[in-house]
Amino acid sequence: MSSKKIVNIIAYIFVAVILIFVFTKGKPVEKPASSEIYSMNTICDLEIYGKDKEAALQKSVSIINTINSIVDDFSPQSDVYKINENAGIRPVKVSKTTIDILEKAIQIAKQTNGAFDPTIRPLLVIWGFKNKNYRVPTEEKIKAALKLISYQDIVINKEDNTVFLKHKGEGIDLGGIAKGYTLDKIKEALDNFNIKSALINMGGNVLTYKNPPNGSVWRIGIKNPRGSGIRGIITVKGTKFISTSGDYERYFIKNGVRYCHIINPKTGKPARKIISITVVSDKGYLGDALSTAFFVKGKEFALQNATRFNVGVVGFDDKMTPFISNNIKELITIYNEAR
C-alpha cells in the first residue's frame, strides 16, 4: 500500500470517527475557551470554540469590561455618571461608544412611543431599584420624577463628542440596552477571528454564534417565570440574539403586589401587563431594548409590532398564558408545566 493511500485511509477513519462522535454521542468535539465574569450587574457566561478561541475569549471579556466602564452609573469615571452629574449644568465629553449607544436608545424610544426611555433613571431611584432600598413612593414623588423622564432632553453633539441633559435631576440609565449592544460588539469581534461556534449569555441576553459545537440547531430554554425549571424551548439556527425581560429577576413585593425593575415611563410605575417576554433578533441592541419596551407595552403591542422590527417574540401574559408571534411559531415549544 502506498503511503499516500494509508494517509487517505487514516484521514477517512478520522472523519468518520468525528462524525459518529458528533452525531451519535452529541458531545462537543473540543473543549471551549470559557469564562464566567460578573459585569453589568449580572453574570456573563462565555463559551467559544474554534482555532482562535483563546484570543477571541480575551477580546470578548475586554469588550464587556470596556462597555461596563462606560455605562456603570455608579462609577465616577464612567461617561454615564459624568453626564448625570452634569445634568442641567454643562455638556460632557464622552466616548464614541457612548454616543452610539445613546443614539440607538433614542431611536428605539421614538419607535416605541417612549415605552423604552433611557432617561428612566429618576424613577428607578425613587422606587429603590438603584440602591436596593425598595419602596413604593408617594404619588407626589412619582409626579415629580415623571417630569424628568424625557429622551428628547438628551442633546448629542457629534462634532464635539459631547452629551448634555437639559435639566437638573435628569439621569440616564442604559441597563435596558447595554448588554444587547455589548453582544453586537462581541459578534463583530468574533467575525474577525477563526471561530466555529460560540454561546455568550449576559444575564438572559444571549448570543448564539454560528452552529452549536455538536449539531446544527441551538436549543435555548425559556425559564419558568414563576418557579424553577423551564417552560419551553426556542430552537434557533446560526447567529441570533435572544433577549428576555421579566418581572421575576429583580422585584419586590409589598402588600401582595409585585413591583419589578422595568418602569412604565408614562405612569411612573413598574410595568405589569405581562410576566415575561423573549425577543429573537438579528441585532443585539434591538432585541434587548425591545424586550424592555414590549414588557412595558404588553402582549398586543408586541405581537402587532414584531414584524415591523423584524423580530420574533414569545412571552407569558399576566395570567401565565403563553403568546408567540406568527413569524417564530415553528421555532417554539411550550410545555404545559415547568420541566
Rounded Cα distance between 295 and 293, Å, is 5
Least separation in angstroms between CB 270 and ligand ADP: 8
Smallest distance, Å, CB 318 to ligand ADP? 17
Instruction: Please state the closest distance from residue 243 (CB atom) to ligand ADP, in A.
Output: 6
Burial pattern 173-190, b for ≥16 Cβ within 10 A else e, equals: bbbbbbbbbbbbbbbebb
What is the DSSP-derived secondary structure letter of residue 31?
P
Residues 6+ apart with CB under 8 A from 262: 176, 245, 247, 270, 271, 292, 295, 296
Among the residue ranges 40-48, 49-57, 135-143, 241-249, the one whose residues contact Mg ion (CB under 5 A): 241-249
* Residue 165, contacted partner among Mg ion, ligand ADP, none, CB below 5-8 A by kind: none
Number of residues that bind ligand ADP (CB under 6 A): 22
52 binds ligand ADP (CB under 6 A): no
Which one of ligand ADP, Mg ion, none interacts with residue 98, CB within 5 to 8 A by kind?
none
96, with CB counted inside 10 A (0-12, 13-18, 19+), is exposed
Q: Which stretch binds ligand ADP (CB under 6 A): 9-17, 46-54, 203-211, 220-228?
A: 203-211
Nearer to ligand ADP, 149 or 331 (CB): 149
Residue 277 contacts residue 244 (beta carbons within 8 Å)? yes
The yes or no reply on residue 208 touching Mg ion (CB under 5 A) is no
197 or 205, CB closer to ligand ADP?
205
**Would you count residue 245 as binding ligand ADP (CB under 6 A)?**
yes
Among 79, 170, 184, 288, which residue interacts with ligand ADP (rule: CB under 6 A)?
A: 288
Residue 221 near residue 230 (C-beta atoms within 8 A): yes
Q: Does 112 bind ligand ADP (CB under 6 A)?
A: no
Question: What DSSP string describes 53-105?
Answer: HHHHHHHHHHHHHHHHHHH-TT-TTSHHHHHHHTTTT--EE--HHHHHHHHHH
What gap in Å lies between CA 327 and CA 312, rounded to an integer? 6
In one-letter notation, the amino acid at residue 136 is V
Strand partners, 235: 219
Q: What number of helices (H) and strands (E) belong to the chain?
A: 9, 16
Q: State which of residues 137, 169, 203, 322 lies at the interface with ligand ADP (CB under 6 A).
A: 203
Name the residue whose CB lies closest to Mg ion.
Answer: 292
The window from 78-86, 159-167, 173-181, 223-231 that contacts ligand ADP (CB under 6 A) reads 173-181
Q: Does 176 engage in binding with Mg ion (CB under 5 A)?
A: yes
CB nearer to ligand ADP: give 124 or 328: 124
Beta-strand pair 257-260/251-254: antiparallel
Shortest distance, position 190 Cβ to ligand ADP, whole Å: 21
Nearest distance from C-beta of residue 139 to ligand ADP, angstroms = 19
The site partner of 268 among Mg ion, ligand ADP, none (C-beta below 5 to 8 Å per kind) is none
Interface pick for ligand ADP out of 81, 116, 181, 193 (rule CB under 6 A): 116
Stretch that binds ligand ADP, among 30-38, 79-87, 234-242, 286-294 (CB under 6 A): 286-294
* Four-residue CA torsion sign, 218, 188, 34, 205: negative
**How far is Cα 62 from Cα 291, in angstroms, rounded to an integer?**
26
Contact criterion met (CB below 8 Å) for 102 and 116: no
**Residue 128: all three cell numbers together:** 429603590
Touching Mg ion, residues 286-315 (CB under 5 A): 288, 291-292
**Max Cα–Cα distance, the chain, nearest Å:** 90
Report the interface residues with Mg ion, using CB under 5 A: 176, 245, 288, 291-292
Report the interface residues with ligand ADP, using CB under 6 A: 116-118, 120, 124, 173, 175-176, 203-205, 245, 249, 261-263, 265, 288, 291-292, 295-296
